[in-house]
Structure 1
Amino acid sequence: MDKKLIGIDLGGTTAKIAILTKDGEIAEKWTIKTNIEDNGSKIVRDIGDSLNQKLTDLQIDNNEFYGIGMGTPGAVNYEKGTVKGAYNLNWVDEQNVSEDLSRITGLKVYLDNDANVAALGERWKGAGEGGANVVFVTLGTGVGGGIFAEGKILHGVKGAAGEIGHVTVEPKDGYDCTCGKKGCLETIASATGIVRVAKDLAKEFNGDSKLLDAIKNKEEITAKLVFDLEREEDALAKLVVDKISFYLALALSHIGNMLNPEKIIIGGGVSAAGDALLTPVTNYFETMVFPAVRESTAISIATKGNDAGVIGAAWLALPTDEEE
């Protein structure tokens, strides 16, 4: 009998749950709402109950699974299986996630940070193509990342490895970041950062521009709108994309020169811009890196989208050769 894996990608709005084959192919997937009431005390119970019900419906026994892998926001203690500081879940204090979910489901639970599991998903079945050295950068409301080096996900001493969004790219005149620093990549290259850059550049822009008109008319400005207009050769939009591409490439060049991964994969909502983002970032990146890095490290757009998290989470539960 080929055993299966379970992957869970927990977010502030929903929890995505999937049953996968050992080869990382999704056999079943579903979503439940994340109930953050009462300090998030119902979240793990809801996930466990949903999973138990699904396995009952499918008539699958626990002995058909290696275990559960789960990605979660917050600071994760990988050895203890605990999470704290996941503020969008109302998990301020430490939560015994692995222990609690294991007790409910009867399966062993492996826990990691949500950005790390997305990196693992892309590395295992997506744009990373199984490489031993892959870096994942996610551009969404914020900027996150995960580093897969020499065949292992890097956590760091305090679990802060991969905080790519807080690489300083504009130390002198940069925007204030929610982390307390100034000039972090997140303040420029996130979806909210791109809008901030657009509104700032609009203040000194005098030419014709649909983006400028939209800002003046107080219309809703989004990162998608900026990239859509850039494709239409809108002059202001082109300036915005050029600026954010420069700073993103600067941060990625530090990663490239430090780690020399096979791939740096860009994911998250902003990555939907595709080549409109990839081309200028790659062009700047190639002028900023050591020659050997330029020849061996490629930048690409993520391919697994919203499935990356559950796929990467499931990978956590894969047994080693010795365990099988």
Structure 2
Amino acid sequence: MQSIQQSNYSNIYHLLMHNDKLSKQMIADELGLSLPTVTSNLNRLSDQQLIMKNGQLESKIGRRATAYSINHNAFLSIGIEVFQKYATITVINLKHEVLAIHTVNIPFANSDQYAAALADQVRWVLQNNGYNEKAILGAGIGIQGLIDSAGTTVLWGKILDCTGMRAERFSQFLPFPVRFYHDADCVAAAEYAANPHDGIVLSIGEHFGSAMIVAGKILRSTTGRDGTMEHISINPRHGRPCYCGRRGCIETYCSLSSLLQPTETLNSFFANLKQDDPAVKKRFAEYLDYLAESIYNLHMFIDVPIIIGGRLSKFITSPVLEELRKRLRAISVFPENERYVKVGHVADNAVAIGAAIPFIDEKLSSI
């Protein structure tokens, strides 16, 4: 009986989660439950502030029924992306809606002083927006490095020089759990939340990263090395040197660091490209050649959609995408539809958003 009661409670909550607003009768009809059962569970969910009354539904006859909706802000989650010179903090709710974004210029250091300073910024965001710390499920930190399966330790962090850093360094300054996530996994989580499909997600920002989504889950192992396709070499002997110590890695040809000159930004680069700057056009054509080769190598490994995510995705217009697909057609071994390449939906702050999502999804699955 207890199991049935819990199932009714969960089913009513998740039915409301997938609908804007419903009445008691609509819930009873949809789930095949009695009105007293629905009423009891709605009262329980209301007492826990998980749902709320949301006006009344239109009715052609009789009294208008009270409408019920999810309280999407009952619980919140924090996501943080750390870079060498700055960090971005975001707050999302149960609907994966971004409620706040804050970027702060704070140089990264593997130290308690840095962790305390970042925690101060997190608390400022919460206080400035009027969010109760007790509503926070946890904070996820997107790291440029390999993370253990529990999210507690950086197993390999060459870019930030943070190998061995532990999440407890940050959680000691915050009243809620803190976990680490590989930054490319965060981008994949953000993309899946926006458009749930399996595939390979490419995180193309300052650095190149990738993650695989299989059966709705991001592929992870205890070693943290899943999906590190950025270190597949396309020219191991004479290629460009990579920070990993090898040569010719995809990272060295397809990251934004490999495309942009030190004084350029993405905006300025594509502005010059639009003005038909010959040098910029040549550089971008070479970049697309390398990107096509890299994508095709991944496609030969596993035939799933390949989603271009990260900061570059905002600039992949239809003409640019067609240029990329034209290159894929030219190098394709087999006759096939080259439209397996798609553009992502979350271009801005994808790492910070994706780092916050696991705490939300875990809470929803527990209700």
* Cα drift, residue 271 of structure 1: 5.7
The structure 2 residue matched to 1:267, chosen from 288, 307, 310, is 310
TM-score in terms of structure 2 length: 0.68
Corresponding residue number in structure 2 for 1:96: 166
Alignment of 1:21-36 (within 5 A): 21-36=93-108
Q: Does the 8 Å CA contact 2:158/2:244 hold for their aligned counterparts? A: no
Could you tell me which amino acid in structure 2 is paired with residue 43 of structure 1? Answer: Y
Shift of 1:36: 3.4
- When residues 113 and 293 of structure 1 are mapped into structure 2, their CA distance, relative to the original with a 3 A threshold, is farther
What does residue range 164-243 of structure 1 map to in structure 2 within 5 Å? 164-171=229-236, 173-194=238-259, 228=271, 230-233=273-276, 237-243=280-286
SS of 2:292 mapped into structure 1: helix
Q: How many residues are matched?
A: 294
Residues 296 and 57 of structure 1: is their aligned pair in 2 closer, same or farther, counting only changes over 3 Å? closer
Contact 1:62 1:106 in 2 (8 A): yes
One of 101, 112, 135 as aligned partner of 1:41 = 112
Aligned partner (choices 183, 191, 196) of residue 122 of structure 1: 191
Partner residue in 1 for 2:30 = none
User: 3-state SS of the aligned residue for 1:46?
Assistant: helix
- Is 1:20 matched with 2:89? no
Give the corresponding residue for 1:161.
226
SS in 2 for 1:18: strand
% same residue: 20
Counterpart-to-counterpart distance in 2, 1:223 and 1:47: 27
Match of 2:357 among 303, 315, 323: 315
Name 1:258's counterpart in structure 2. Answer: 301
CA shift in 2, pair 1:164/1:223, >3 Å = farther
Point out the more displaced range, 238-247 or 282-291. 282-291
**Matching residue of 2:7:** none
**5+ residue gaps, structure 2:** 1-48, 50-73
Partner of 1:199: none
SS of residue paired to 2:115: helix
1:45 positional shift: 1.8
Q: Distance in 1 between matches of 2:238 and 2:169?
A: 46
Amino acid at match of 1:20: I
How far 1:172 sits from its partner (Å)? 5.2
Greater RCO (CA < 8 Å, at least 6 residues apart): 1
Paired AA for residue 46 in structure 1: A
Between the aligned partners of 1:80 and 1:194, the Cα distance in structure 2 is: 32
Pick closer, same or farther for the CA change 1:230–1:276 going to 2, 3 Å: farther
Determine helix, strand or coil for the equivalent of 1:145.
strand
The equivalent residue for 1:113 is 182
The answer as to whether partners of 1:40 and 1:89 remain within 8 angstroms in 2 is no
1:7 corresponds to 2:79? yes
Q: CA deviation at 1:226?
A: 6.2
Distance 1:114 1:56 in 2: 27
Which residue of structure 2 aligns with residue 211 of structure 1?
A: none
The aligned residue for residue 215 of structure 1 is none
In 2, Cα distance between equivalents of 1:292 and 1:65:
51
TM-score calculated relative to the size of structure 1: 0.76
- Give the letter for the 2:98 counterpart: I
2:207 equivalent among 120, 125, 142: 142
